[in-house]
Structure 1
């Protein structure tokens, strides 16, 4: 019967660590984008506030101040909406990258598990066909469950994104 070698365990651990750090790097890249966006928005708001304050100080009568206030509400609402869209794009992009990476990692794990089961079946002692068949059945059921959950999750994300 075939057994797992220390080299195979080391390779599996290295692969898992690479995957973990890949996910962490993708998350940090998204965080960096959010920080950059917030810095950009903060700088723009500071400059705009300075201009608005200069205009407000230069106002000579209350009607000008009311007109200035009214002229600011529409652009402010548009800026908030644009900011929300940009945040959504960044978060959606990171989510899509992580989802894609997780899917490919899972598919590789499926292939590895299938290879292990096939190796087990080839090297199994006589009379163990029932156990091997049970492993195959459990593996197939797990794959079907994953596929069903994955489709439902993708459908849910698409529905939520369409509503946003």
Structure 2
């Protein structure tokens, strides 16, 4: 029969496994979105390229050909930048969701670990409250550092998505 501590650690492991499965599902879904976007963009660019080549083959005036090539290049660049922005937005949203999940895990899981250690220390003949405080401080520091990194990354992605092409 499992001891109470083993049951608590098994429960923590179960929560971590569930979080890992949610993270894997989120990763798969967002990878699919990005691949669909890339395939759609590539297909569109290919079709436009074929149409552009046909249009250019009928042009006799070099100035008109140059004008058409410039317009096609600008349209292609704008389409590529739009695709990059959409990928950045998907990535930013995913990162926010992952950040939320990790924060929940750090908060909930961290508290579970601290609670388990408290119960463990209470069962010992000599209780070391300094060790428990150190564990709690380490968990709080890790959580704060992760939140700062998540915010900085989200800000960077947001700045990228606001870049507009010069016309």
TM-score using structure 2 length: 0.80
1:5-154 counterparts in 2 under 5 A?
5=6, 7-125=7-125, 128-129=126-127, 131=128, 133-154=129-150
Aligned alpha-carbon RMSD (Å)? 2.2
| Gap runs ≥5 in structure 1 | none
Q: 1:135 to 1:150 in 2, by over 3 A?
A: same
2: distance between equivalents of 1:26 and 1:139?
30
Structure 1 segments, 4+ long, off by >4 Å, are none
Q: 1:91 to 1:74 in 2, by over 3 A?
A: same
Q: What is the aligned partner in structure 2 of residue 160 from structure 1? A: 156
Q: What is the CA distance between 1:137 and its match in structure 2?
A: 1.7
Q: 1:113 to 1:8 in 2, by over 3 A?
A: closer
SS in 1 for 2:5: coil
Worse-superposed segment, 7-16 or 83-92? 7-16
Q: Is the radius of gyration larger for structure 1 or structure 2?
A: 1
Q: What is the aligned partner in structure 1 of residue 5 from structure 2? A: 4
Is the 1:30–1:90 contact (alpha carbons within 8 Å) kept by the matching residues of 2? yes
Is the 1:117–1:135 contact (alpha carbons within 8 Å) kept by the matching residues of 2? no
SS in 1 for 2:59: coil
| Gap runs ≥5 in structure 2 | 161-167
